[in-house]
Amino acid sequence: MMTKKPKLEAAGGELLTPRQLLTRAAATAGAGIVWIALFLVLPMLILFGYSFLTRDELGNAVFPLTIDNYVRFAGWDVLGYDAAYLIIVGRTILVSLVTTFFCVLIAYPLAFFIAAHKPQVRDRLMIFVIVPSWVNLVIRTYAWMIMFNPSSPITQLAVSLGIVKPNEGLYPSDFAVYLGMVNVFLPFIVLPLYSAVERIDWSQLEAAQDLYATKTQAFFQVLVPQTLPGLTAGIILTAIPALGMFVVPDLLGGAKVALIGNSIAQQFGSSRDYPFGAAISFLVMGLTLLVLWLYARRVGEKGMRDLL
């Protein structure tokens, strides 16, 4: 009779039994998995549980379990139907998309501009993109506020050009909000885009022209498609965090316009309504995951790996 041998699998140039494979996987990835389980998955589960609780008069989360928080978000309240939160979500998505649009508009030529330089110069130029993002967000935002207040030279210039009325600042305004947002998110889109542009073999541009393409055709049909993975990564890295951004719109927008980030912060802060805050958080997260899932389905496993 033949003895049954364990099935061997090739891994990193070695043949291993399934048990050995599992042991090694646990030794290498185990710590990471534990970390994520303790500090990401567990808190999320707690928060998810909260979203089904009820707020009592003192602001504590108590039983019974209910889906009222989600119903309330959809607009049905004790006072009747009011789509306030859906409008906030819509507005947040709009802000996120507009921010992303302007980031792409600036990042695209910037990435090509940087990639067109010699390697040493490129690195130096990239520093100008990256280093500002190391400055604390709140400090940066306050800096914009100072620059845009009614007495600043920049505002004075805007006044003399007739862009704003005298005695008004450039902030609070939508302009200030978008400027602040683009300032925050630009590096997130420039970096992946630049790394895509940098990898392009420029002789393809000559090859395209050799094959009867004009310079414009060569750019749009040969270069641009190759930047799409980087562009998509940049858009995702910008649009999703922009959904949750509340410091910049709050400070530069003058706290006049409610966005989803502010709303969540308010539930966990002044309103002391943890269950409702948790519900909003989960709905926004669900929305984000839905978009990512749709994207993943389109590009497949390899596309997602490129993205990461």
Binding site for other proteins (CB under 8 A): 201, 203-204, 206-214, 217, 221-222, 225-226
Cα 281–chain centre separation:
15
Residue type, 74: A
Dump the DSSP string for 177-224: HHHHHHHHHHHHHHHHHHHHHHTS-THHHHHHHHTT--HHHHIIIIIH
Q: Which is nearer to other proteins, 123 or 210 (CB)?
A: 210
Least distance from C-beta 298 to other proteins, angstroms?
Answer: 16
Q: Which is nearer to other proteins, 9 or 206 (CB)?
A: 206
Least distance from C-beta 223 to other proteins, angstroms?
Answer: 10
Least distance from C-beta 112 to other proteins, angstroms?
Answer: 17
Q: Which is nearer to other proteins, 168 or 210 (CB)?
A: 210
| Rounded Cα–Cα distance for residues 98 and 182 (Å) | 9
- Within 8 A by CB and 6+ apart from 159, the residues are 165, 166, 168
Least distance from C-beta 97 to other proteins, angstroms?
Answer: 26
**165-176 burial, b for 16+ CB within 10 Å, e for fewer?**
eeeebbbbbeeb
Q: Three-class SS of residue 105?
A: helix
CB-based contact 80:68 (threshold 8 Å):
no
Q: Which is nearer to other proteins, 226 or 266 (CB)?
A: 226
Q: Three-class SS of residue 52?
A: coil
Q: Which is nearer to other proteins, 66 or 221 (CB)?
A: 221
Q: Which is nearer to other proteins, 223 or 287 (CB)?
A: 223
Q: Which is nearer to other proteins, 197 or 239 (CB)?
A: 197
Dump the DSSP string for 137-176: HHHHHHHHHHHHSTTSHHHHHHHHTTSS-TT--S-SSHHH
Least distance from C-beta 203 to other proteins, angstroms?
Answer: 4
Least distance from C-beta 19 to other proteins, angstroms?
Answer: 35
Least distance from C-beta 154 to other proteins, angstroms?
Answer: 43
